[in-house]
Amino acid sequence: MENNPILIPERKLSAFVVDVLSAVGVPTDDATIVADCLLTANLSGVDSHGVVRLAHYIRRLENGTIKARPHLTFTRTAPAMGLLDGGDGLGHVVAYHATTHAMDLAAEAGTSVVVVGNSSHFGMAGFYVLRMAEAGYAGVSMTATDRMLVPFGARKAFFGTNPICFGFPTDGIPVVLDMATTSIAWGKVALAAVEGHPIPDSWALDAQGNPTTDPRAVAGLHPAAGPKGSGLAMVIDIFCSLLAGMPWGPHINRMYAEMDAPRHLGHLIMAIDVNRFLPLARFKQNLAAMVQELTALEPAAGFDQVHYPGQLEGLQRAQRRATGIPIEAGLADELAQLGQRYHVPFPAS
């Protein structure tokens, strides 16, 4: 492979993901959900949650810590509430079905909350919120993850990066705020480690709880906005782990370091039927007016334009759908080797 990224059309890369997952026993419909989630991340420029994760999912599917054909059980606990047991399946599939249940409940009751247990890594949180926004719902998705965030005032990691996402429907690019509760994305640390670059000592802590400039020594990340991000990470763990009866914080199975057992992750999905407050068209008009005023603000020094949450990702999706998804050489090699194992040709540019 050349050092420059290769550009692969969305359709071809999606077919590759589906075929590889199918080769390890994942039903086609479920494999398509996973591919849609991964490709939405890549198209949005959130490459850390895209096809780079495929090889890891395959390893867990092979060793049985993720089940290719899980038994999902949904229990409606109230008119607008439900619990979904994911049966240790692929988190993308589990959360997709939780989102479907949430929208069905909200269509009937106006709003809904679905708590998920016995799941695994569910990819980009925004994938589920985008689906709800496209259907006319305001949505929330969040998940617990294994420890990486060092609570405010502590020296060692306790909570996960614990992402949370909010989304609202528009007639254009949906408003989507998708954020981790750490001040720096783990992907930036991982990239610095690969490239051999030091990181600022304000980014992270080592295993002894001391600031480090070595990306390979990082054992924890600071919370976003100090005590605010720290508290939000705890709240997300309460919603996703404790309500679902799942392990929390340091008791959650490590995604990459503890490969011999299921992860038992918890998520939460919420859907709100905008029409129950005012007509959806009027809501979209109001939101469009807000967005127009916001993006018309004079940009600060060093900025070309003020953007709203989700706008840059939406623009990126349009561009990459037209030009192809860039895949770095190292990842291309990994995917090509994965394809060879299962007799699935890796698509050329």
Among the residue ranges 108-117, 242-251, 274-283, 326-335, the one predicted with the least confidence is 326-335
Share of the chain above pLDDT 90, in %: 91
- pLDDT higher than threshold 60 for residue 276: yes
The pLDDT value given to residue 75: 98
- pLDDT higher than threshold 90 for residue 345: yes
**DSSP H/E element including 159:** strand 159-160
**DSSP H/E element including 219:** none
Q: How confident is the model at residue 140 (pLDDT cuts 50, 70, 90)?
A: very high
| Pairing status of strand 137-143 against strand 164-168 | antiparallel
Q: What is the pLDDT of residues 61-118, one digit of tens each?
A: 999 999 999 999 999 999 999 999 999 999 999 999 999 999 999 999 999 999 999 9
Tell whether the torsion through CA atoms of 209, 231, 131 and 244 is positive or negative: positive
The pLDDT value given to residue 48: 86
pLDDT, mean of residues 257-274: 97
Single-letter amino acid, residue 162:
N
The pLDDT value given to residue 1: 42
Q: What is the pLDDT of residues 229-265, one digit of tens each?
A: 999 999 999 999 999 999 999 999 999 889 999 999 9
- pLDDT higher than threshold 90 for residue 192: no
pLDDT, mean of residues 199-225: 94
CB atoms within 10 A of CB 156: 15
The pLDDT value given to residue 186: 76
Q: What is the pLDDT of residues 44-67, one digit of tens each?
A: 999 989 999 999 999 999 999 999
Known catalytic residue at 121: yes
Q: Do residues 174 and 168 lie in contact, with contact meaning Cβ atoms separated by under 8 Å? A: yes
The pLDDT value given to residue 349: 46
- pLDDT higher than threshold 80 for residue 153: yes
Q: State how far the alpha carbon of 150 is from the alpha carbons of 121, 134, 226, 253, 302, in Å.
A: 20, 35, 10, 17, 31
- pLDDT higher than threshold 50 for residue 158: yes
The pLDDT value given to residue 287: 98
> Average pLDDT of the chain?
95
Catalytic residue among 49, 92, 121, 222: 121
pLDDT, mean of residues 8-35: 98
* CA–CA gap between residue 48 and residue 80 (Å, rounded): 34
* CA–CA gap between residue 304 and residue 120 (Å, rounded): 39
Which pTM value belongs to this model?
Answer: 0.95
